[in-house]
Structure 1
Amino acid sequence: MHFVGDLHQPLHAADNHDKGGNCVRLALGGPRTTNLHSYWDTAVVSELDPNPKSLADTLFMHITYDDKQAWQQGTPSDWAQESFGLARDYAYHLNGVKAGCDPDSAPIELPAGYDAAAQTVVSLQLMKAGVRLASLLNTALADVQITK
């Protein structure tokens, strides 16, 4: 189950020789810094809603029937390729990001609009991950007989 969710985190599907964004330091204002991986894994999700149940409820309400039908298509490999494209087009769309790990590099300032784009991508990826995981579980457990 964890793997299906992880496929939808863009930095889990990209390799910029920076340990999945763990080597890219970000400046978050004032003395606050984080790394790119943690930003996409945790910070953006917390910005959407710090309460996981509330966030899940909100996202669930935005999933349409057509979304479910479309998102259940494809394979995990297709989903990983989709996430790779999001890493390339959004997560790594920063000035100053270089391949590899340079411990002496200065933290990168997030450009205008980066937070909003990240929130849109993460919301969509969380919804897709939920629909796809549910579909996989429904398929895997379709013939299971539950006895009391």
Structure 2
Amino acid sequence: MAEMALISSHAPWTPLPRLVDWQDVGDGSIFNQAREGDTPEAVWQSTERIREQYRKSIEYVLETLVSFVKTYGDDKLVLLVVGDHQPASFVSHDSASHDVPVHLIARDPEVIKAIDGWQWTPGLIPDAQAPVWRMDELRDRLIRAYSALPTL
């Protein structure tokens, strides 16, 4: 099990790391220099540029996840992708809540079957009627769902 915090989705959202080959990541120091984009001072002069840079940061996170799955994914890989929080209202607009999406990604159908009754939406965009739980409730649900499964 590993936890990877992809913090590029946090302000100032620029300059963003560029994708590098997984074998080149090493201790992570490559990201001290492998960044692309305008300075925060340049981006933060315009709300539209800030929003665009935020979008690019989310795109980077998704590209990183896809790259990880393509590089290291096998039949036993399970990803639980959890959003952190919504960006400031001037980015997300005032209607955004503090709810974040959670995605469970697995090739093994038994992993998905264990949460069948949760009413989660297939795909990236949750249904408006999808359930919303606090993180401690999600944790407890996951523990119950997977404690009952035989070793895969």
Q: TM-score, normalised on structure 2?
A: 0.31
Q: TM-score, normalised on structure 1?
A: 0.32
Write 1 or 2 for the structure with the bigger share of helix: 1
Q: Higher relative contact order at CA 8 Å, sep ≥6: structure 1 or structure 2?
A: 1
